[in-house]
């Protein structure tokens, strides 16, 4: 998964996500196939810091900085940023990446 090609909202190709996260696959499935995600990732993608910390297990809590970097740099902004955007994405709205 480290060599996946992604495109930004502007259509630029993003290469080489180097983040190695326990829930990386779950995030990929959410982005690529709009698969619903668990409470921790939902809070993360909703940009809800307090809930993200509250729902993280110890492993994920210790990696929150990398999660945030991954979402910021590697996940198309149409897929995350607010509860409304996450719900819209799961309903199939918004541009495909
Ligand atoms: Zn990444």
Taking only the tens place, the pLDDT of each residue in 40-89 is 999 999 999 999 999 999 999 999 999 999 999 999 999 999 999 999 99
Å from CA of 91 to ligand 1 middle: 24
pLDDT score recorded for residue 1: 46
Range of 39's domain?
A: 6-90
Grade residue 94 by pLDDT with cuts at 50, 70 and 90. confident
**Is the residue at 62 inside a domain?**
yes
**Residue 90 has which token pair?**
């799961």
Tell me what pLDDT residue 42 has: 98
User: What's the gap in Å between 57 CA and the centre of ligand 1?
Assistant: 20
What are the beta bridge partners of residue 6? 14
Q: Per the domain annotation, does 58 fall within a domain? A: yes
Q: Evaluate whether residue 97 is within a structural domain.
A: no
Question: How far is ligand 1, taken at its centre, from the CA of residue 16, in Å?
Answer: 8
With respect to residue 96, please indicate whether it lies within any of the assigned structural domains: no
Is 49 part of any domain? Answer: yes
- For 36, the token pair is 């619903």
Q: Where are the alpha helices (DSSP H) in 1-97?
A: 24-33, 39-45, 49-55, 58-62, 64-74, 83-90
């Amino acid at each position: 998964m480290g060599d996946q090609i992604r495109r930004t909202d502007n259509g630029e190709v993003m290469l080489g996500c180097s983040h190695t996260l326990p829930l990386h696959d779950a995030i990929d499935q959410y982005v690529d196939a709009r698969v619903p995600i668990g409470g921790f990732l939902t809070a993360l993608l909703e940009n809800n810091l307090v809930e993200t910390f509250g729902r993280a297990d110890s492993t994920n809590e210790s990696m929150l900085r990398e999660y945030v970097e991954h979402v910021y740099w590697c996940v198309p902004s149409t897929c995350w940023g607010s509860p409304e955007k996450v719900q819209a994405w799961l309903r199939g709205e918004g541009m495909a990446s």
